[in-house]
Structure 1
Amino acid sequence: MAFSLLRVVLSIKTSAELGFADSDRYAGRVLSSKFVGKNSRKKAALVKDHKMSEIVVGVKPDMVIPGATYSLKEAYDQCREVCAENSKTFYLGTLLMTPERQRAISAISVWCRRTDELVDGHNASHITPAALDRWELRLEDLFAGRPYDMLDAALSDTVSRFPVDIQLFKDMIEGMRMDLKKSRYENFDELYLYCYYVAGTVALMTVPVMGIAPESKATTESVYNAALALGIANQLTNILRDVGEDARRGRIYLPLDELAEAGLTDEDIFNGKVTDKWRNFMKIQIKRARMFFRQAEQGVTELSQASRWPIWASLLLYRQILDEIEANDYNNFTKKAYVSKAKKLLSLPMAYGKSLISPSTHAQPEPQSMTL
């Protein structure tokens, strides 16, 4: 999988050669490499099975997992509590979902958080490639219905109910392997691949849970393209928000060639001084992130009606972080941009209004695949 995606990235011209207009197409190109092939029709069929406005997934309170001392409901409740404590903006969006989707998304989110914590958490210094290999074996057991703990049990149940591809989870683990051995990214092509592994995968995991509107004429692949763009946009936003925090850990998640073009170096990042050069550089990076958010918007409208409001809310809330970086005069070295509760609440009516827009009623052409 990693080799396949790398071939795609290497076959794309550098972002400097393409310009932002073509950078906006990266998501579609990489996704095409995943879906075009002998398994593409099978994957598309799995998703189309869930093109319904409501997916009925019941969780009985007294459903006890064999060999465990807790019920499945308790497992999902624990996932929801973890989300509420650690991902407040994301959690607000999940509250707008139907109960069955909220449970599934919480289970997926918690697994992703636990995976990320392996290399970013308190014990990160003790994590080795072998530890990630064991985590991947544990993932395979989870998908086979053999969860290790309560949080695993919730995800194990989720993947048995929704056609979520295990490869996406394995790809995220691959992103953690990158974090163990890589702390610099020479260009946007390299950074994009990293963003796919650690965040694009997460967005793609959620599409089967959210479902595509039965009346939508959009291609399944175009919806996945948009989901991938949202994952990339979110991760780029995370990177821009956390520049100072990452620098204190010796990491720079910014394209080094673009830093050089702006007259900036690693030392400028570590010194953390906001200059005109830095402001101009940040304006370009924020512009790119917003372009991916715009591409993501094209797919949200195609989701099932019950899913559109929470996804629109999440998109609008997260995109506002970019506004806050600007409001902080691009000081993401010592100030962490965050969206106030008042602004979050004001975004909900706007998100609801956007969720009322009907899906496309005309068939859209399949995106062109790349010749690999």
Structure 2
Amino acid sequence: MQSNQNAPFTVLIVGGGIGGLTLAHFVRKAGWRAQVIEKRPLAEMLSGPGGIFIQLNGLSALRQLDEGRLAEALYAQGGSVLAGGFHREDGSPLYLNDPEFVGRQDLGVCISRADLQQLLYRDLGPEVVFPGSGLAHFEQDEGGVRVQLEDGTVLSGDMLVGADGLWSRVRTILEERARPAAPEYSGYCCWRGLFSVPDRQILPENSSWAEYWGFGLRFGWFHVGGDRYSFYAFKNTEQGGADEGSSLAGLRTLFGDYAAPVPAILDALEGETIYRDDICDRPPIKGPWGKGRATLIGDAAHPVQPNIGQGACQAIEDGFELVQALRAGMTAGQTVAEALRAIEEQRSKRVTRVFKVSRQVGELAQSDTRWGVFARNQLYRLMPNWLGDLQFRWLFDYEAEWRSDKLLPKA
């Protein structure tokens, strides 16, 4: 296939989630054309369960967009992450954190997934995002990429990015599979949703988030802006079940005797939608993530458990660094494929570390034996709060800088 020499460089993005929409913004900032292919209808794409935490590293990349106005909009609509911490189920503290421990005013922003999706879509619109039909297959050669959608639509571009999550269709095709490979189940499931509390009536004034740990159980909440909050709860259980926590009554059975404000939060969930998911991940790909002019970002390449709040942040970093590497590589005469393999190799070490740390935190937090819980609680109780925060400086100290001369060596 031959690319149109007069057409702008075109990046086809499969997946209209946080990673895909953010990548589209970075592509457009570079002066290129982005086309986002999304299987879900638009209304479903712009919704989502519960809230999400965008930490300082993700915000550093988002601040490169629209002269920082997108990041400002997140803060205006969401809730700043201030002091909070982990507690035993009786409310006694295990680990408290505060932005001042790492010399920051806050640790990021929490926002509902629906609000974030709508903010990201707002400046893209229907000329960039094509909802309602998924990827059927694609082919590529030295001239470009040709994509066919499930409804028969054909799109052509200069490269393809799979930002289509845990069950990535792009990854399945790249791996020459008939269906996606099964992810690895963590051993626990998650419930999540949103609730409203006027004037913080039931919540402590000095915290913007908190998490309570029991025996194979966790319950957490965080502020997502205004009078809205998000809750989440984890339980060790078999995969694919619909156990006693699948309803609000079941959650009350599991967490009703936890310390305040957990019982009051459960009351506030009356009438709200509660979502249940099995928590899964996959070890990051060893070697190249893609082939030729096709690559992967975010959960399509390296899905992680949610224990350190880095799933969306790593997808945002992926998109930012991908566009940076392409700009520098193409300026220096690299082919698209060479630039993609270089950024895949460069990102591999960081996302692998995130994957491992998130698993380790999950294993500790979900301890369900007497001695396991005792050891976990003692570890967090005896560790100085400032030391706990400093352990994650390698995440928060990521600084995004928009430049076109960051040339990576060939992989």
Q: Which TM-score applies when normalising by structure 1?
A: 0.26
Task: Name the structure where strand makes up a greater proportion of residues.
Answer: 2
Task: Name the structure where helix makes up a greater proportion of residues.
Answer: 1
Q: Which TM-score applies when normalising by structure 2?
A: 0.24
Q: Which has the larger radius of gyration?
A: 2
